[in-house]
A = this chain, B = another copy of it.
């Protein structure tokens, strides 16, 4: 493990000074190679899929694992988008001239070595490789054992492509072939080698990382997402947004888990909206005030407010006002994505300011919390922490801002 990390650190020293044109050439070569070797990838993937089926893995997981022509096309498309994005390295985010003539620039630079631990979806392998290369970082990838052959084939194809591009260091992108837990723990403790580790996975992975990591991490955590429908909301819009946020893809982290409704809408709007959700197969768990206007609701218990169902289940609560909604989200939310539906500007502005969430949505669905939808091509993860980066993480999240101070001989008296 340390050999892989050391090789990555050496590669990172070269990658951080690589010109954008070289990186873009490399990205194009990566995309071309994935297209060319589509069959090779699908063959390797078939081994994983067969083993997974034989092992009785769930149909959902097998589906996520499976590579098809269209999914490979999606990986290629993501790399092309990333190629077209501006290089964040060297970008200035601030500049000032001090009274003594010093010029202080704040400039983005690569982090160095970025490691990602992820689950069954093989496309993450290509996504992370591309994001890291464009942002001048060396990538260390640790995929799931279930996707081992797929990931190995993707990395092989990408490494072959990179070997043909002058200036790109060997080991710019590496896969950890040892998929044991011990190897993962070693990676978590490779302090001094890893500049950022992003765990993409379930609560168990997150807990392991939080308990064991000595390397800097950004947590891609739970999404207990809320939508608050204010008294001033456009009713039709509110229904459409709530239905979309709950039902368009209930298994993902940006799906709504709790609906908060202003009491003025409890009788007028809520029953109709819940009827529609029920018609789409949603089980509703409501507070007493919800059950008073829509008796079909299952009684909500306290634990419902803290649960990320990732399923067609919705907790619903009637609140007295905006402040109660804000307090509820502050108590139960996971800082991933929360939204409001409201016509009143003051209400919306107060919500966006008072809710301490990474991505706050006004009059639209929390389902838009996504690197692609944010224009980042893909994401390296969705941060649910406050430091460094919040929400979908694209190229900028893979850089840090250094100070570059230009003088002409100034020395400090005190």
Q: Which residue of B lies closest to A349 (CB)?
A: B404
Q: Are B410 and A364 in touch, CB under 8 angstroms?
A: yes
Q: Give the residue name and chain of the B residue nearest to A335 (CB).
A: B402
Given A16-B354, A414-B249; A360-B404 close (CB under 8 Å): yes
Q: Which residues of B contact A357 (CB under 8 A)?
A: 402
What is the count of identical protomers in the complex? 2
- Rounded to whole Å, the gap between the CB of A74 and the closest CB of chain B is 11
Q: Do A407 and B375 form a contact, CB below 8 Å, given A16-B356, A354-B13, A412-B367?
A: no
On whether the beta carbons of A330 and B364 are closer than 8 Å, the reply is no
Chain B residues lying within 8 Å of A408, measured Cβ to Cβ, are 237, 363-364
**In the complex with contacts A237-B409, A249-B414, A367-B411, A353-B387 CB distance below 8 A:** no
B411 in contact with A365 (CB, 8 Å) = yes
Say yes or no: is A271 at the interface (Cβ < 8 Å to chain B). Answer: no
Q: Tell me which residues across on chain B come within 8 A of A195, comparing CB atoms.
A: 386
A210 CB to nearest B CB, Å: 7
List B contacts of A386 (CB < 8 A). Answer: 111-112, 195-196, 216, 400
Asked, given contacts A111-B386, A402-B391, A403-B391, whether A241 binds B362 with beta carbons under 8 Å apart, the answer is no
Q: Could you tell me which residues of chain A, from 152 to 200, have a CB within 8 Å of some CB in chain B? A: 195-196
A–B pairs, 16, beta carbons within 8 Å: A98-B373, A98-B375, A104-B375, A210-B214, A243-B411, A360-B402, A360-B405, A362-B404, A363-B409, A364-B409, A367-B411, A373-B412, A374-B403, A387-B400, A388-B388, A390-B400
